[in-house]
Amino acid sequence: MRDFIIPDDAYVPASTADMGTPPSRATTTVTLTVDGMPVTVPSGTSVMRAAAEAGIAIPKLCATDSMAAIGSCRLCLVEVEGMRGTPASCTTPVAEGMVVHTESELIRKLRRGVMELYVSDHPRDLLTSPANGLDEVQDMAAAVGLREVRYTPGENHVAPCMANGEANPRFREPDRSNPYFTYDPALCIVCMRCVRACDEIQGTFALTVQGRGFESRIVAGQDQPFLNSDCVSCGACVQACPTGSLLENSVAEIGVPERTVITTCAYCGVGCNFEAQMRGDQVVRMVPWKHGKANHGHSCVKGRFAWGYANHGERILSPMVREKITDPWRETTWEEAITFAADRLKAIQQEHGIDSVGVITSSRCTNEETYLVQKLARAVLRTNNTDTCARVCHSPTGYGLKTTFGTSAGTHDFDSVDFCDVALVIGANPTDAHPVFASRLRKRLREGAKLIVVDPRRIDLLETPHLGEAHHLSIKPGTNVAVLTAMAHVIVTEGLVSTEFIRERCDWDEYLDYAEFLSDPRHSPEATEAATGVPPEALRAAARLYATGGNGAIYYGLGVTEHAQGSTAVMAIANLAMLTGNIGKPGTGVNPLRGQNNVQGSCDMGSFPHELPGYRHITDPVARDIYERAWGVPVPEEPGLRIPNMFDAAVAGAFRGLYCQGEDILQSDPDSSHVAAALSAMDCVIVQDLFLNETATYAHVFLPGSTFLEKDGTFTNAERRINPVRKVMAPKNGYGDWEITQLLANALGAGWSYTHPSQIMDEIAATTPSFAGVSFDLLDAVGSVQWPCNEDAPLGTPMMHGTGFVRGKGKFVHTEYVASDERTGPRFPLLLTTGRILSQYNVGAQTRRTANTVWHDEDLLEIHPHDAEERGIRSGDWVRLASRAGATTLRALVTARVAPGVVYTTFHHPTTQANVVTTDSSDWATNCPEYKVTAVQVMPSNGPSEWQEDYAERAEASRRVLPLEAAE
Amino acid sequence: MSGGDAKLVRMANQIATFFETQPGIDPAAATAAHLNDFWPPPMRARLLEMIAEGGTGLRPAAAGAAPLIRRPGEAPVHAVPVDPGVPPVRAGEEAAPANPAFQSEGGSDG
Ligand code: SF4
Ligand code: SF4
Ligand code: FES
């Protein structure tokens, strides 16, 4: 007998089949027969799914395996021996010994009756419709053998005109307001799959059914165009729609896809897996992959829709060089550009010393690319001057978690959120920055989990529909450590600690010491209120809830790390988890939400100037020896320059050459004028990117990069999950980024001969213990793995510190609050904090070059009505935002989402240049910039600041390009 | 003081401030350990010069770190174990920290 038990998350590469209903989580099984075939499935499985697992596809329209069945279309009827009537198989659970028949004369008759009704109110000729080939009404009509429709054309939603020639009041024109998809009501069968997708999967509740019976139709918001409704354009409804009523515009433009490649989104740290659905070498659409372990078939507007930048007209495809940054660019050949770059780097090193050059990689690059760039620095340029943009976001996470737990990474996988009872979200805005995770969290919140938000701003998570108990601690920017320590004070002094956990997993004396420290009245919420602005009772209630509310999971973001005390705050978070025993079991843990797609990976790959791959310190002779043998050269043993150190050294004249891959340091690093001064002081800046980014304004060599669609590799998401990126088309610029790095290395005499990124991963695995088991073959076989992946854990490690901490005993570090130097005063009385929004990504280089700009075409300054009124500012006014570092102008949005005294903006647009205002203040341990706190003044203004004008002029001048012919 | 020097002083003081709040350790030694592990040689060299010139503006733990700061070009000061944030991975695998600031019973058995 064939055994049909298939594990929950089985990876069957070919299987995209819709199983009809979601899998059951039950551990007990039930055996039944379907059309004579015995099937064993977990109890709670639907008859429809059991049949599907036996390979029998029962006709259906309203059911799909991404959401709970509602049994409305009645097409999936079956007969069950001993049961009366014909139950709907999607809503009927299996039972032991059940005997199911999916076909019979009666069933066929009933199904044809159902289909006849559907077809009578459905466009009959789809030959020239974009939905042709995708409309399941067609498929089902065929499946049930519908041969005639007896109803004469009468009232319908399909025809613009009625039989008498008058306009059909039921007909509606398609809604084309969303730039990526169209809603054509004529094709709608009101199966409610879209409504359920929006509610259950996305959690936005933007769609409803209006009217009843024959009159019912799907509407967005209050019967608005999609664009003006609450819709966040995640596309879940489009994916769920069985008829093509909701359909991607790209399908209408290109046609139905013919093949599929599984790959990974290149935007945020959630790391959603996608099916790139292709026609030839053209992407028709990106559909979130249902076997993706981070996203389970869901995605956000960026990953699903905003990939058009790959074909944007501003993309640079030819290498360019210039003598001076004031010259126009000169297009040239790859050979000349690489030689030019290599010669300059060599000359600089000869004249100014080995350590006068360095490299910066981006968290947008693959692991393989990042590994190669740090190898280029260490093995070819022979310097540890290598850093990554993770410096400016999550370096304190690395330091803090390594100190307390022993590993520079989050503890749990995203699936763990399904088991949490209390979610403590600190300094993160998941609905905008980690949307798919936010949807999963919202689902859990709807199921009754409680929410605590620690943030200066009222984030959207607090507006979750059907949210139960929720607390918002609205803190003054820069006081995280005081708030977290006060929470620990409450937990300790009110006796809410988990002594059992601490005795077993931590050092008891050390705990007593920390408890004494915490018990001091100076840490009480009453005492810290003056600094933090959090009412003591609110803080106490939140602390009690986290300690006693069941499984408590902490999710935090850059609002924790990007502070002068970022590393201390991370340790304070770890302490909270240890004090309450909220670690080492599902539904708990300390989980950093990483900003960019490969922040985790770029840290893992040894991009930091003090660390070799796998977080082994550069002074560690054992680790150095491994690489000296692998690379055949001595590895320098002194820590190199970090990004801010590079800028300082450049201004001082000691650092003169930079290879910068995929990172726009000018726009994304703080204190833009200082960065600009540093870049202009260098003799050779090599920028490798898709577009002439802001940094390229100061570059001498531009090497055009490739997109994630054009190369193979891996990204590692916030859960330590190594996800494959697969090449779906040839690189338009000619080379994958890893090949470009190799060209440069070889021009510097390296003699590398990688022919495929899988060989780079093999080298990483051979030299890095936590990656020992990773290979492209493994990823092809199982989809993705979470490191550590080695002999002890051949399929990876979803949850860390299960029975013991990696470092042995958990470490309680004392967390004294130290007020940031960045304080308000008479000149700069407000605190600026920064963030991002859903539709744009980071510096926006990609998303600004897609239709996503319809949602966010400029950065706005959010200011509290009280502060606005004092200054005579109204929404939409131009305001000047100034700090001790610089000034910029942008438009104001008056809103009570920010507290009085706090202003907030995003940094997606180069014209705004929010980082002109941010200062060089940084985290004590890692130099991670203090983006989240800047003392500022805001005043009405009527034009761009001096910097903006100067910069605009310079940027324009520096973007001039002489084409290849003209140069000859 | 030049802008660059002032920044070094501020950063060294931030580090010193942190270690001064940790119990049962010598903050100067821990500060030195952190600088050895994270600061590149030119920055350490400049800081040592400034300490030699009197260490204006430096907190005691920062100024007092001088003897244990590795001189660029010289061998590591072996008496000082590395910083906690980067456990030495002597066994070739991620392991436990060895900074006195963070060493605890059982802390080094991982
Ligand atoms: S795109 Fe997403 S948010 Fe918008 S209606 Fe569809 S499911 Fe809801
Ligand atoms: S941006 Fe993030 S949440 Fe959106 S699809 Fe990409 S990985 Fe998923
Ligand atoms: S598929 Fe079961 S009722 Fe629609």
Q: For residue A60, give the ligand 3 atom closest to its CA.
A: 1
Host domain of residue A282:
257-307
Q: Which residue of B has its CA nearest to A383?
A: B40
Are the CB atoms for A474 and A899 separated by under 8 Å?
Answer: yes
Q: Is residue A201 part of a domain?
A: no
Q: Which ligand has an atom closest to residue A304 CA?
A: 2
Give the closest residue (by CA) to ligand 2 atom 6.
A303
Select the more confidently predicted residue: A153 or A634: A634
Flag whether pLDDT at B100 surpasses 70. Answer: no
DSSP state of A724: E
pTM: 0.87
From CA A119, how far away is CA A352, in angstroms rounded?
78
CA R_g for chain B: 14
The answer on A617 and A679 residing in a single domain is: yes
Using a CB–CB cutoff of 8 Å, tell me whether A844 touches chain B.
Answer: no
Closest C-alpha among A450, A445, A442, A446 to residue A469: A450
Q: How many structural domains comprise chain A?
A: 5
Closest C-alpha among A611, A73, A629 to residue A377: A611
Which pLDDT score is estimated for A10? 42
Q: Is residue A325 part of a domain?
A: no
Query: Which chain B positions have a beta carbon within 8 Å of A615's beta carbon?
Result: 86, 89, 94
Flag whether pLDDT at A964 surpasses 70. Answer: no
CATH of the domain at A481: 3.40.228.10
Query: Which chain A positions have a beta carbon within 8 Å of B102's beta carbon?
Result: 403, 811, 813
Q: Is residue A448 part of a domain?
A: yes
A860-876: pLDDT as tens digits: 899 999 999 999 999 98
Are the CB atoms for A271 and A722 separated by under 8 Å?
Answer: no
A184-205: pLDDT as tens digits: 988 898 899 999 999 999 999 9
Which residues, including other chains, have CB under 8 Å from residue A582's CB and lie 6 or more apart? A546, A551, A552, A553, A554, A576, A588, A589
Select the more confidently predicted residue: B97 or A59: A59
From CA A223, how far away is CA A226, in angstroms rounded?
9
Per-residue confidence band for A5, with pLDDT thresholds at 50, 70 and 90: very low
Q: Which residue of A has its CA nearest to B93?
A: A769
Q: Is residue A665 part of a domain?
A: yes
Query: Which chain A positions have a beta carbon within 8 Å of B14's beta carbon?
Result: 564, 924
Which pLDDT score is estimated for A15? 63
Per-residue confidence band for A153, with pLDDT thresholds at 50, 70 and 90: low
Pocket perturbation via mutation, ligand 1, pick of A64, A181, A207 by most ligand atoms within 8 A of CB: A207
The answer on A578 and A482 residing in a single domain is: yes
The continuous run of DSSP H or E covering A648 comes out as helix A643-651
CATH of the domain at A884: 2.40.40.20
Ranges A63-77, A689-703, A794-808: which has the least confidence: A794-808
Q: Is residue A284 part of a domain?
A: yes
Per-residue confidence band for B51, with pLDDT thresholds at 50, 70 and 90: very high
Segment 614-653 of chain A within 8 Å of chain B by CB: 614-617, 619-620, 622-623, 626, 638-642, 645, 648-649, 651-652
ipTM of the complex: 0.82
Q: Could you give the count of Cα atoms lying within 13 Å of A181 in the half-sphere of its Cβ?
A: 27
Domain boundary, last residue among A567, A592, A617? A592
Domain boundary, last residue among A95, A121, A143? A143
For A476, counting Cβ atoms within 10 Å of its Cβ (0-12 exposed, 13-18 middle, 19+ buried), the class is: buried
The answer on A388 and A433 residing in a single domain is: no
The answer on A509 and A489 residing in a single domain is: yes
Which pLDDT score is estimated for A671? 81
User: Which residues, judged by CB distance below 6 Å to any ligand atom, belong to the binding site of ligand 2?
Assistant: A 265, 267-268, 270-272, 295, 299-300, 302-303, 435-436
The answer on A419 and A388 residing in a single domain is: no
The answer on A768 and A634 residing in a single domain is: yes
Pocket perturbation via mutation, ligand 3, pick of A18, A58, A62, A190 by most ligand atoms within 8 A of CB: A62
Are the CB atoms for A63 and A69 separated by under 8 Å?
Answer: yes
Q: Is residue A39 part of a domain?
A: yes
Flag whether pLDDT at A966 surpasses 80. Answer: no
| 3 state DSSP class of A894 | strand
Ranges A334-348, A749-763, A836-850, B6-20: which has the least confidence: A836-850
The answer on A653 and A541 residing in a single domain is: no
Q: Tell me if A924 and B17 make a contact (CB, 8 A cut-off).
A: yes
The answer on A498 and A607 residing in a single domain is: no
Segment 445-474 of chain A within 8 Å of chain B by CB: none
Domain boundary, last residue among A542, A567, A592? A592
Are the CB atoms for A46 and A91 separated by under 8 Å?
Answer: yes
For A949, counting Cβ atoms within 10 Å of its Cβ (0-12 exposed, 13-18 middle, 19+ buried), the class is: exposed
Flag whether pLDDT at A8 surpasses 50. Answer: no
Which pLDDT score is estimated for B88? 36
Mean pLDDT for B37-42 is: 89
CATH of the domain at A56: 3.10.20.740
B9-20: pLDDT as tens digits: 989 999 999 998
Question: In the numeric block, which tokens belong to residue B46?
Answer: 């400049």
Ranges A447-456, A636-645, A776-785, A853-862: which has the least confidence: A853-862
Flag whether pLDDT at A963 surpasses 90. Answer: no
Are the CB atoms for A64 and A136 separated by under 8 Å?
Answer: no
Q: Is residue A798 part of a domain?
A: no
A542-576: pLDDT as tens digits: 999 999 999 999 999 888 888 888 899 999 999 99
The answer on A605 and A569 residing in a single domain is: no
Select the more confidently predicted residue: A915 or A872: A872
The answer on A414 and A384 residing in a single domain is: no
The answer on A703 and A734 residing in a single domain is: yes
Ranges A96-110, A149-163, A541-555, A592-606: which has the least confidence: A149-163
**What backbone phi and psi angles, to 5 degrees, belong to A736?**
-70, 155
For A130, counting Cβ atoms within 10 Å of its Cβ (0-12 exposed, 13-18 middle, 19+ buried), the class is: buried
The answer on A429 and A549 residing in a single domain is: yes
Which pLDDT score is estimated for A6? 38
Q: Could you give the count of Cα atoms lying within 13 Å of A7 in the half-sphere of its Cβ?
A: 6
